Structure 1
Amino acid sequence: MNGQQINNLSLMLITDRNLCKQSFLHTIKLALKGGAKTIQLREKGIPTHELYCLARELRKVTLEFHANFIINDRIDIALAVEADGVHLGWQSLPFTVVKRLIGSEKLIGISTHSRQEALQARDYGADYITFGPIFNTPSKKGLLLPLGTETIRKLKNEVKIPIIALGGIHKNNIESVLCDGADGIAVISSIMHDDNPEEATRCLYEKIVPFKQFINS
């Protein structure tokens, strides 16, 4: 793990091939051109060999753009393609087991949906957390209530690792998320489902840059 890897968490794209209006790989390339700094491969229902081949392609293209490549849950695939890390949910392998398998040089992120889960992830030793949903989002509709941006500000006092906000974030509300202290954002549909993924990503990236410059100044 290095400073650049952490800095690259400022704009994370979580994949969903079912949303793409163009080919999956082309959509990812356009997002990277637009400023995506981390790609998290989260594709469910794909046979292992097919997922491996997809991960291998994404590893190549993320290296070209000096972006992080993180794989959701599948430690075996992450190791096989030399990804930058893995992202865990609450049904994944235990954190201590994952840490032993992948070592200290790779990122381990954890999905959290409450203060309690965020503190638990912090205590485990996670390198970052995703936290949400911040706003209403179709993928969590009826499952999780939106947490709102003010919960990020409160959480920042207790959680010093990067907090990556997700859930219903787009170009019209991203600034409120950043103003309340999020270290980065993670999006799915606002890029994957857009007619122009490159421009959609650039709109988000250009709103993030001033905040990162202010924090680093």
Structure 2
Amino acid sequence: MKKYLITSREFYTDTPAIFRNILHEQFREHLPNYALYRDKSNPNYDIQAAHFVEVCMQFENIKSFIHQNIDLAKELNASGVHLTSSQFDKIKSAKELGLEVIISTHTHEEVIKAKDLGADAVTYSPIFSSPNKGEPKGIDDLKVLIARCNIKIFALGGIVSSEQIKEVQDAKAYGFASIRYFY
């Protein structure tokens, strides 16, 4: 099962050297397959994103993703872009630029739409209880979705323990994505 590390400002600093060190340590400890630079409030997002991609490139098996910004992902030579659930119209453009596309989804219909539009994978959330993310979907819903759709699905939301990861793995998800599990 694949691991998708998502950054969060609360676990990092805006100081590039410290950011790089923390990120490097987390990668070395957890060996994620995918990593997303996500920081909606950093005024120096582009600069920090460049540091993020550079650190990812130091690890042979980590695919780097930039949040929302297709052009920046391409410019930085990231593996791909992680689009929000309001960016379905950007899937085609990102694919035309040669980027791998993961998109956030919250309903079965959104997952099907993402597949039909050519996304490579989706995050589907929230699976477990997660702060400010609404009612959890649960493992049974995830199993139904996986049986229904032929697209890589990363379970996301409230995944903080090995037990939860085992449940997601038993559901046959492609992988799990998390912020808090990795810190």
Q: TM-score, normalised by structure 2?
A: 0.88
Q: Write the mapping of 1:115-134 to structure 2, written as runs, cut at 5 A.
A: 115-134=108-127
In 2, distance between residues paired with 1:162 and 1:93? Answer: 16
Task: State the Cα distance separating 1:131 from its structure 2 match.
Answer: 0.5
Deviations 1:51-104 (A, max 9, x none): 111111111111110210001101121122111111111333613xx4335526
Helix, strand or coil at the partner of 1:149: helix
Q: Does 1:11 align with 2:6?
A: no
Cα distance in 2 for partners of 1:39, 1:80 equals 17
Structure 1 counterpart of 2:35: 39
Distance 1:51 1:189 in 2: 21
Q: Which amino acid aligns with 1:166?
A: L
Cα RMSD of the aligned pairs, angstroms, is 2.1
The answer on whether the counterparts of 2:94 and 2:100 sit within 8 Å (CA) in structure 1 is no
Map 1:189-200 onto structure 2 (within 5 A).
189-192=180-183
Amino acid at match of 1:27: I
Whether the aligned pair in 2 keeps the contact of 1:79 and 1:102 (CA below 8 Å) is: no
The structure with the largest helix share of the pair is 1
- The CA deviation at 1:117 is 1.2
Unaligned runs of 5+ in 2: none
Look up the SS of the partner of 1:87 in the other structure.
strand
Unaligned runs of 5+ in 1: 1-6, 193-217
Give the aligned partner of residue 152 of structure 1. 142
Report Cα offsets for 1:146-195 as digits up to 9, x if no partner.
Answer: 00011121112221111000111122321011101111000102223xxx
Q: How many angstroms apart in 2 are the aligned matches of 1:122 and 1:159? A: 8
**Structure of greater relative contact order (alpha carbons < 8 Å, 6+ residues apart):** 1
Change in 2 beyond 3 A, CA 1:74/1:163: same
1:68 equivalent to 2:59? Answer no
CA distance in 1, matches of 2:117, 2:108: 14
Once the two structures are TM-superposed, the CA of residue 139 in structure 1 deviates from its matched residue by 4.2
Describe the SS at the equivalent of 2:148: coil
Q: Is the 8 A contact 1:17 1:24 kept in 2?
A: no
Q: Higher strand proportion, which one?
A: 2
CA distance in 2, matches of 1:184, 1:101: 22
Looking at structure 1, the residues matched to 152 and 11 of structure 2 have their Cα atoms a distance apart, in angstroms, of 27
CA distance in 1, matches of 2:132, 2:58: 31
Q: Kindly tell me: are residues 181 and 93 of structure 1, through their superposed partners in 2, closer, same or farther at Cα, counting changes over 3 Å?
A: closer
Aligned length: 177
Structure 1's 169 and 41: CA in aligned 2 closer, same or farther, altered over 3 A? same
2:76 matched to which residue of 1? 81
- AA of the residue aligned to 1:12: Y
TM-score (norm 1): 0.75
CA contact (8 A) 2:129 2:158 kept: yes
Secondary structure class of the residue paired with 1:36: coil
Task: Tell me if the contact between 1:86 and 1:108 (Cα under 8 Å) persists in the aligned partners.
Answer: yes
| Cα distance in 2 between the residues matched to 1:76 and 1:106 | 10
